[in-house]
Amino acid sequence: MTNFSELGLTDAILRAVTGEGYTVPTPIQAQTIPYLLQGRDVLGIAQTGTGKTAAFALPILQRLSENPRKAMPKSTRALILTPTRELALQIDEGFKTYGRHLNLKRAVVFGGVSQRPQVGALRQGIDILVATPGRLLDLMNQRHIDLCSVEIFVLDEADRMLDMGFIRDVRTIAAKVPTKRQTLLFSATMPSAVDGLVKGLLKDFARVEVTPESTTVERIAQRVMLVAKEDKRSLLGDVLKDSSVSRAIVFTRTKHCANRVAEQLQKTGVAADAIHGNKSQGARQRSLAAFKDGKVRVLVATDIAARGIDVDHISHVINFELPMEPESYVHRIGRTARAGTEGIALSFCDASERGQLRAIERAIRQSIPVDVTHAYHGKVSMTGGTTEEAPQRRGRNNRRGGGGGRNGGGGGKSWGRKSRAA
């Protein structure tokens, strides 16, 4: 097994990686980093959740810091294009974390917010810019940024960018980046349009591919439980009465909610603990160890805190609140069904979360069966169109307790599509 120090990374970067608690590189990291450090172009076939951000961020940080050069005003040395605001923020956060012992300037730009602070951030010139295509083009057209000194160009989630209608923007932007550069393109799938981009933009590239997560998703029995917000805690209590729920992760959207749910469970005698970004690394590791040892049966977590959790034999993933981004759903439920086992994912959905449920179903290209057997089903008004409307889906998987119910077909080969325009 490769470790990070064998990949040729410098001490400042290794320290940041170790500080994050990473011990071994993920397959995409082990395969990609050496090529990128050599300056090669890379086509990476991998999706979010595989560790691909660090796969490109670590070598970019290293290459930029090894050749220090003051960026010219209104220019950037590395440009990372990504389809959504959420991904842009996540990638920028990755650069911040992994580059914490280096002295490189970053900025992130995306649409839907005022451009003024973004313009300010670009003025002095920066090293790393993470951008969504629409806002970047706007800023280019207003001459707030010039791509003439880009040395490294990354196209992240290329298939999704094309799906979202960004192909022309991407081509326009790529045409403004100097041809003498290093180019990386990441895509979960390789439709012919992406192939066209690869041929047009990459030179003498290395191709790296990791197994898609969807193979795991197909092994997970997914069910949705329609419930009023105020009944979610009682429903969780009921679900946990079933002894087949032997080791569960409960996901919430906020740290506050994670704490409240964990406290409530502890009060009712359930061995539970919360992990989230407000807890120290030490506290998080202690909670994780107790969960792995079986001393804690239920771990309540936020998406961010749960990243990188790799615990075997998690019987259930319970979405106490649905995530805003469909990809997070796939990451969450992928915590169960590890190491070839099957797993169960239950999602509590209240009336305000119906839109998120539909987005998830579109993304995984499956409809998630509705559990009609729990005590709170039917107590909640779901008017205005819900999954419940589809009568053929009702009762199809109404086995007892928290388990059962293989979701109905649909393939679910790709996900994370058409979520949100930048």
The DSSP-derived string for 355-393 is: HHHHHHHHHHTSBPPBP--STTTTSS---S--GGG-GGG
Residue 20 class from Cβ within 10 Å (0-12 exposed, 13-18 middle, 19+ buried)?
A: middle
Pick from 51, 83, 334, 402: which binds ligand AMP (CB under 6 A)?
51
Q: Does 98 sit near ligand AMP (CB under 6 A)? A: no
The answer for 308, left when phi > 0, alpha when psi is -120 to 50, beta otherwise, is: left
Amino acid at 279: K
Map residues 403-422 to x or -, x wherever contact with ligand AMP holds by CB under 6 A: --------------------
Instruction: Give phi and psi for 77, each to the nearest 5.
Output: -90, -30
Which C-beta is closer to ligand AMP: that of 43 or that of 225? 43
CB of 105 to ligand AMP, least distance (A): 22
Q: Does 132 sit near ligand AMP (CB under 6 A)? A: no
Contact of 341 with 369, CB cutoff 8 Å: no
Stretch that binds ligand AMP, among 45-53, 156-164, 190-198, 379-387 (CB under 6 A): 45-53
Provide Rg for the chain, Cα atoms: 22
Which C-beta is closer to ligand AMP: that of 53 or that of 407? 53
Q: Does 22 sit near ligand AMP (CB under 6 A)? A: yes
173-179 LR contacts (CB < 8 Å, sep 24+)? 173/79, 173/81, 173/133, 173/136, 173/137, 173/140, 173/147, 174/200, 174/201, 176/140, 176/146, 176/147, 176/148, 177/79, 177/147, 177/150, 177/153, 178/147, 178/148, 178/149, 178/150
Q: Does 134 sit near ligand AMP (CB under 6 A)? A: no
Residue 319, beta-bridge partner list = 251, 347
Residue 106, beta-bridge partner list = 128
Residue 41, beta-bridge partner list = none
Which C-beta is closer to ligand AMP: that of 74 or that of 331? 331
Q: Does 50 sit near ligand AMP (CB under 6 A)? A: yes
CB of 51 to ligand AMP, least distance (A): 3
CB of 142 to ligand AMP, least distance (A): 31
CB of 50 to ligand AMP, least distance (A): 5
Report which of 132, 172, 180, 174 is spatially closest to residue 156, judged by C-alpha positions: 132
Which C-beta is closer to ligand AMP: that of 243 or that of 280? 280
Which C-beta is closer to ligand AMP: that of 39 or that of 308? 308
List binders of ligand AMP among 175-204 (CB under 6 A): none
Which C-beta is closer to ligand AMP: that of 213 or that of 388? 213
SS3 category, 139 = helix
Which C-beta is closer to ligand AMP: that of 51 or that of 326? 51
Stretch that binds ligand AMP, among 46-54, 200-208, 311-319, 404-412 (CB under 6 A): 46-54
Cβ atoms within 10 Å, residue 120: 11
Q: Does 59 sit near ligand AMP (CB under 6 A)? A: no
Quick one: which H or E segment has residue 222?
Answer: strand 220-226
CB of 220 to ligand AMP, least distance (A): 18
List binders of ligand AMP among 284-323 (CB under 6 A): 307-308
Q: ∠167-162-54 over CA atoms, to 5°?
A: 110
Q: What CA–CA distance (Å, rounded) separates 166 from 219? A: 33
Stretch that binds ligand AMP, among 47-55, 127-135, 144-152, 403-411 (CB under 6 A): 47-55
Q: Does 334 sit near ligand AMP (CB under 6 A)? A: no
Which C-beta is closer to ligand AMP: that of 90 or that of 182? 90
Which C-beta is closer to ligand AMP: that of 127 or that of 303? 303
Residues binding ligand AMP (CB under 6 A):
22, 25-26, 29, 48-54, 307-308
